[in-house]
Amino acid sequence: MEKKILNFIEKYHMLQKEDKVIAGISGGADSICLLFVLLRLQEKIGFDVIAVHVNHGLRGETAKRDERFTETFCRERNVPCIVYHENVKEIAAQKKMSVEEAGRLVRRKAFEEVRIRYGGTKIALAHHQNDNAETMLLNLARGTGIRGLSGIRPVNGYMIRPLLGINRKEIEYYLKEHQLSYCEDETNAGDEYTRNRIRHQILPMLEEQVNRQAVRHMNETMEQLNQIRDYLEREIEEHCRCVVRQEEEGLLLLRDEWMQCDPVIQNGIIQKCLENLAGTGKDLVSVHVAAVAELFEKQSGRKRNLPYNICAERNYEGILLIKQTAERQTECREELIIPGITRLKDRNLRICCTIWEKDKNFSIEQIPQTPYTKWFDYDIIKNSLTVRTRQPEDVLGVNRQGGTQKLKSYFINEKIPAKSRERILLIAEGHQILWVVGYRMSSRYQISEHTKRIIEIKIMEDKKHGRDN
């Protein structure tokens, strides 16, 4: 089985030499298998492992038992283990979400904190093929599109799932073969949660009465759907450049350009814009996309209210999407914490900066082509970076030979309205602009074959200090 996992890791380029892996370990069968396999592969590949255990405060003495077991398992194998204690039930009530969602939130927060604190390059999670099949069925039953049906990605940024190529039975057999004990979570045994009913009733019935390889076949289908999804997202991103225009109030979808797109691309553009404004894709479904699309056939002035306080308004050019609660302050200046997280409370945003060494397997295709995540050559940067609004002396690099253009000229050439320019965020080194956020990055700081270190700058909605979505 280890060979199978190693092949899966290599297929998706999950781990490289000198990676520092933050592994989420609950003490259950899946995570113990993950940690044990990582340790077995450690010498072969050459990476470090740090374990993170989150006590959710839900199961009393049983949770303490899991915590002690995980700490002992790690100590016996010389693995650093960092433990978090959270009151998930209280967090769920405060944020008006399910206990399951709150648990996922605190785990991801803990993993991210440890990654930043210890310079982690990867976060490894223990999802396997059965988890993926459950996710697919759950999304299918609730109503979804290609994204929901494509399941859990093996690699999502620095999040990796090395066990997605194997199923639960293989994990159990492996643990038994190596005489590894683990903790049983009694909450997984009952059927009060929807996912548990799929796990205990629907999937076994499919395997017993339809096809014994049902889980494997579902995962193969999800892999194909992921490829289709990646292609569509690239197409949607490309079409957004001519269909969507950044305005001071929000995002403007230009009707004439939108009407020339294929219906699949049309819906994808709307979905992408809504997610950009909301900062999440959760609870944004096809009915909301359809409500926006219908406005193209309505008279100017017609509106639709959508989740996350987003309002869609028909005007003469198309549809303006506005997040009504967004702060409208113009002045902004903060020095970026590198590596780390910088919060812009007035804008309800957080900026996450991460640095890592470029490895020998790096390819240009790995560079994200998304409007709010960019990679830069960190070796070129000599001074501190700031996030701010424009200043008169600002210039933008137009080539790697040192050619520049005044930022004001760039705004004029791009026909960005004067009233919008004061709000646009810039990532700057002095008066050299690395990134006109939402528009373009400087050629001067682009990654090249000579790059040794990469800095990723990601801008996201700050849910901690803003609205609880």
Residues listed for the chain: 469
Distance CA 78, CA 321 (A): 53
Distance CA 284, CA 462 (A): 18
Was 29 annotated as part of a binding site? yes
Residue 253's H or E segment, with its range, is: strand 250-254
Q: Which one-letter amino acid corresponds to residue 22?
A: I
Distance CA 68, CA 52 (A): 13
Distance CA 34, CA 49 (A): 11
For residues 293 and 265, the answer to whether their CB atoms sit within 8 Å is no
Write phi, then psi, for 315 (nearest 5 degrees): -130, -170
β pairing state of 122-124 and 159-160? parallel
Residue 97 makes CB contacts below 8 A (sequence gap 6+) with: 105, 468
Tokens representing 319 are: 């549809």
Was 26 annotated as part of a binding site? yes
Was 31 annotated as part of a binding site? yes
Pick from 67, 26, 155, 52: which is nearest to 113 by CA?
A: 52
Cα distances (Å, whole numbers) of residue 348 to 145, 277, 302, 307: 29, 12, 28, 17
Residues of each annotated binding site for ATP: 26-31
Residues of each annotated binding site: 26-31
